[in-house]
Amino acid sequence: MQQNLPLTIAKLNANFGEQHAKIYELIAREDQVMSTYALECASEIDNEIVALCLGDLVRASFIKIYQKHGRRPAWEVVKTIAKAS
């Protein structure tokens, strides 16, 4: 997990509630299946929250998944984050 994950999750929990925090926590994990699932959930919930609160963290996860598995997870979310950055 990323070093800044606990602080990020705490911020999400305070601002958006426990459900959002739990979903976004999965994004930062290195497990490819759960990370991709979480990103897909995030795209359905609120792309803007992902981009604003977790831009760098999520981008790092995309890079890890892409390098390890040779595919882009939740491509629509990637594009949204890229536009917001």
Query: pLDDT (tens digit, 9 = 90+) per residue, 35-66?
Result: 666 666 665 555 555 555 555 666 666 666 55
**Structure confidence at residue 2 (pLDDT):** 47
**So what's the pLDDT on residue 80?**
58
Q: Alpha-carbon distance 7 to 11, whole Å?
A: 6
Residues 6+ apart with CB under 8 A from 67: none
In degrees and rounded to multiples of 5, residue 17 shows phi and psi of 100, 165
